[in-house]
Amino acid sequence: MAKEYFLHPESADLLKTLDEAAHRSGLSRGQAFDDFLNMVVCSLSGGRMEERYLEVVKRHSHGKPGKRGCDSLAELFGRTVDAMEETRDGMKDILGDVFQGSITYGEAGQFFTPENVGRMMARMMVSDVPEVEQHEVKRICDPACGSGRMLLAVAEMQPHWLFVGRDIDLRCVRMTAINLALRNLYGFVIWGNSLADEQRLVYRTGFDLQGFISEVPIGDLPEPVQQIAAKPTPPLTGGSLDLVPLNELHTTPADDQVELSPRRVNQLRLF
């Protein structure tokens, strides 16, 4: 097995707790991490995914209370939230760090954009927006979002914008949804291949008076997000962000009706 490598020191401690959960449940590290992401998404749904949660947690419920895999996973969740909140000058991608550094090791070329590069790209893009438009609600899109690092980089400057991501890997989709939800950022995360016009599942993030994550049918998405889900993305050689102004918000960010102004689209690519 490849050697673990992390950008954040907290990730090594989180990995110990994850391995403890995997050992207690008799599962691989990768399966335990997948289950952990699934359980966190269900937990943040406000009870709407209770059946799925109970189905997943069964694999981690053997043994005495305090010594079960689910006990370690609960501890892992708390430590993850603490690690995310530890630094206030930036939104750290702890989940992506653990995923790349100890789960996939970049398999199939799956290397995430470094956080400092994502911040550079975000600043280049946001600085291009006229100052008079800085306070407008806009949509920011990453068609290959990974764990959502570049969306988080934009959110550090414009947390009131609407964030949209899509990825072919369900684990990445869940990490992005969790990263957005735990910061109460409003957006949509689509599971599917951007190049093949594929949509399998959509998570909506942001508090809606019940929870912070919900599953929504493609047909119930706001019109601008449906346009993203229905339009194939041209091939890219790296990460990208689309920035599109929103014309009007007739409702609060928690509501579904958002109208998009088609004035212009800025796309920044990392080559």
CA dihedral 122→159→205→230, nearest 10 degrees, is -40
Name the domain count of the chain.
2
Specify whether 75 is located in the same domain as 148: no
Specify whether 99 is located in the same domain as 120: no
Q: Which of 87, 109, 131 is the last residue of a domain?
A: 109
Per-residue pLDDT tens digits for 147-170: 999 999 999 989 999 999 999 999
Strand partners, 190: 166, 202
Specify whether 187 is located in the same domain as 240: yes
Q: Which range among 57-71, 109-123, 220-234 has the greatest average pLDDT?
A: 57-71
Q: What is the enclosing helix (H) or strand (E) of 57? A: helix 50-57
Q: Supply the range of the domain harboring residue 76.
A: 10-109
Is the separation of the CB atoms in 123 and 188 below 8 Å? Answer: no
3 domain residue, yes or no: no
Model pTM score = 0.83
Per-residue pLDDT tens digits for 172-223: 999 999 999 999 999 999 999 888 878 889 999 999 999 999 999 887 777 7
39 domain residue, yes or no: yes
| 250 burial level (CB within 10 Å; 0-12, 13-18, 19+) | exposed
Specify whether 210 is located in the same domain as 158: yes
Token code pair at residue 197: 């016009």
5 domain residue, yes or no: no
Specify whether 86 is located in the same domain as 217: no
Q: What is the pLDDT of residue 218?
A: 80
Q: What share of the chain is helix, strand, coil (3-state, %, to 5)?
A: 45, 15, 40
Least confident piece of the model among 36-40, 119-123, 193-197, 235-239: 235-239
